[in-house]
DNA sequence: GTCTATATCATGATAGAC
DNA sequence: GTCTATCATGATATAGAC
């Protein structure tokens, strides 16, 4: 069946995503969402009972986009270094396509962390799996010893933070030169992989 | 002169900081600030003409706390590796004392980046100075070659992000165990310094 | 300087016609 | 399903007494 992609509901979801993502839950206005969708406020409440519910639809949709692919890599049977490289590639690839995600997710999780609980159980996300894999690689002498939490934090930080802090980066480092900024982001995956490997891989 | 530290103005500033920092500009309510300061709303407008002005007072106060110390280190005549270590120490030290800063600053800069411009010129902040120092150390063969922007981004990311994403870290990595979380933060400076040195220092 | 009371306005939400 | 008109609430901000 040919999905009618510009049904009213889809237009609302698209508009809501844009507004929520740039303004956040508190800053977003139902009027603005309605305008951007080309309809009126009443229809928003007809499709989604409240602003809260509309927001939840957008938020979980965005999270759904980010988690599963990473999980697949972690569950594969590649070597630890390859896994790390694949995770970095997947992360940066996602962020290049949706650079707004980090700022949005962090803002909303700081506002109301309770939503995180539901998502973690929903995805059966258990970081123990990650930490154990890192620990074993350390004990095999493949990578240097450190608390797995620190290693994970280092990698995720280098991937995510430059996107979350985009305005600062853009202005302070690149004086708002968009070409230089995009070049920088496109180089991130390569740079981070090299940086991490230099830092942790034990040469035979 | 003995400064009267609990003058009404100081009580307002203290209360406003708490509320703005946890709720953000959009989420903060003047009523809540008044309650926390033990006064009424009208007095807020008497001392600071509007919510906007009160916010600006808090925001610039917080930024003032962060920038100068880092600048001093960068202008010193220590070696590049020592400078990097000192910057990491200073950053983590500041963040341990004021862990709310990153989330707050990032949230508000994403909301309205224009304020950043004034601050950058006010502090005469020129990142070129940092990048040149790194570049020269690379050419002397002290550290590996990479774009200075990437190296700076890596270091800042590892310092700041774990604080900005505190709720995620706390729940996903440490299942809300506050002892483990605090231990993690207190180890960050040491871990990051070692990680960066492994990644970039060229052994003679 | 500090208070109470009120003006003014914007927002999320609903009622009801078509 | 979609619209116009309206409500109810809660916010910033101000007036004016003390």
pLDDT at position B5, please? 61
* Tens-place pLDDT, residues B154-180: 999 999 999 999 999 999 999 999 999
pLDDT at position A1, please? 36
B106 vs A103, A125, A158: nearest CB:
A103
Say how far apart CA B187 and CA B180 lie, in whole Å.
11
Longest dimension (CA), chain A: 67
In the predicted model, is pLDDT for residue B152 greater than 70? yes
Same domain for A78 and A156? yes
Same domain for A60 and A95? yes
Same domain for A9 and A80? no
Min Cα separation A104/chain B (Å)? 9
Straight-line distance from CA A56 to C1' D9, in Å? 23
pLDDT at position A5, please? 61
Q: Are A121 and A60 in contact (CB under 8 A)?
A: no
Q: Are A41 and A31 in contact (CB under 8 A)?
A: yes
Same domain for B60 and B90? yes
Same domain for A38 and A99? no
Number of domains into which chain A is organized? 2
Same domain for A61 and A16? no
Q: Do B110 and A103 touch (CB under 8 A)?
A: yes
C-alpha distances in Å from residue B101, one per residue of A189, B52, B58, B97: 27, 19, 11, 10
CATH number at residue B22: 1.10.10.60
Report residue A175 as tokens.
Answer: 């004086």
Say how far apart CA B31 and CA B36 lie, in whole Å.
9
Say how far apart CA A15 and CA A34 lie, in whole Å.
8
Straight-line distance from CA B99 to C1' D9, in Å? 35
Q: Which of B179, B111, B54 is nearest to A27 (CA)?
A: B111
Same domain for B171 and B194? yes
CATH number at residue A110: 1.10.357.10
Mutation site, B165, B170, B180, interface A, largest A CB count within 10 A: B165
Same domain for B22 and B99? no
Same domain for B44 and B140? no
pLDDT tens for chain A, 204 residues: list them: 344 568 999 999 999 999 999 999 999 999 999 999 999 999 999 999 999 999 999 999 998 888 888 889 999 999 999 999 999 999 999 999 999 999 999 999 888 888 888 878 887 778 899 999 999 999 999 999 999 999 999 999 999 999 999 999 999 999 999 999 999 999 999 999 999 999 999 987
B26 Cβ contacts chain D strand, under 7 Å: no
In the predicted model, is pLDDT for residue B3 greater than 50? no
Same domain for B2 and B83? no
Same domain for B40 and B78? no
Which nucleotide lies closest to B40 by the C1' atom and the CA atom?
A: C3
Residues from chain A that touch B120, judged by Cβ atoms under 8 A, are: 171-172
End-of-domain residue from the set A9, A26, A49: A49
In the predicted model, is pLDDT for residue B91 greater than 60? yes
pLDDT at position A42, please? 98
A26 Cβ contacts chain C strand, under 7 Å: no
Q: Where are the alpha helices (DSSP H) in chain B?
A: 8-27, 30-37, 41-47, 51-75, 80-97, 101-111, 114-122, 128-139, 148-164, 166-168, 174, 178-200
Residues 6 or more apart whose CB falls under 8 angstroms from that of B102 comprise B95, B160, B161, B163, B164
Residue numbers of the domain that contains B13: 1-49
């Amino acid at each position: 069946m040919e999905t009618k992609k510009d049904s009213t509901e889809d237009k609302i979801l698209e508009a809501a995503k844009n507004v929520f993502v740039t303004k956040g839950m508190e800053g977003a206005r139902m009027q603005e969402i309605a305008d951007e969708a080309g309809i009126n406020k009443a229809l928003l409440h007809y499709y989604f009972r409240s602003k809260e519910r509309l927001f939840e639809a957008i938020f979980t949709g965005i999270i759904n986009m980010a988690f599963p692919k990473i999980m697949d890599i972690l569950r594969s049977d590649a070597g630890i270094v390859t896994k790390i490289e694949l995770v970095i590639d997947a992360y940066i690839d996602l962020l290049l396509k949706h650079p707004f995600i980090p700022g949005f997710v962090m803002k909303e999780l700081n506002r109301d962390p309770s939503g995180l609980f539901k998502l973690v159980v929903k995805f059966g996300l258990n970081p123990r799996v990650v930490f154990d894999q890192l620990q074993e690689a350390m004990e095999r002498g493949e990578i240097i010893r450190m608390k797995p939490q620190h290693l994970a934090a280092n990698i995720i930080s280098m991937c995510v933070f430059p996107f979350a802090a985009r305005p600062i980066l853009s202005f302070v480092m690149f004086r708002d030169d968009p070409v230089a900024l995009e070049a920088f982001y496109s180089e991130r995956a390569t740079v981070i992989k090299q940086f991490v490997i230099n830092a942790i891989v034990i040469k035979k």
